[in-house]
Amino acid sequence: MEIFLVLNGMEIDASIKEQERVVLLLASGDLGREEFTEWLWLNLRTI
């Protein structure tokens, strides 16, 4: 996903620890697609 974002002029503006937390929640099923999408939109910035 990071490569896709960078190629499209975006990057995630969250700490590595926060990114790991979100990915683990997503992988465990404790974070749904809609919640992840919202988190991602809130944590994107243009580069």
pLDDT number for residue 5: 95
pLDDT number for residue 34: 97
Query: Which residues form the domain of 17?
Result: 2-46
* Residue pLDDT, tens place only, 1-47: 889 999 999 999 999 999 999 999 999 999 999 999 999 999 999 99
pLDDT number for residue 27: 97
Domain count for the chain, please give it. 1
pLDDT number for residue 9: 97
- Per-position DSSP letters for 4-45, written without gaps between them: HHHHTTEEE-S-HHHHHHHHHHHHHTSS-HHHHHHHHHHTEE
pTM for the structure as a whole:
0.84
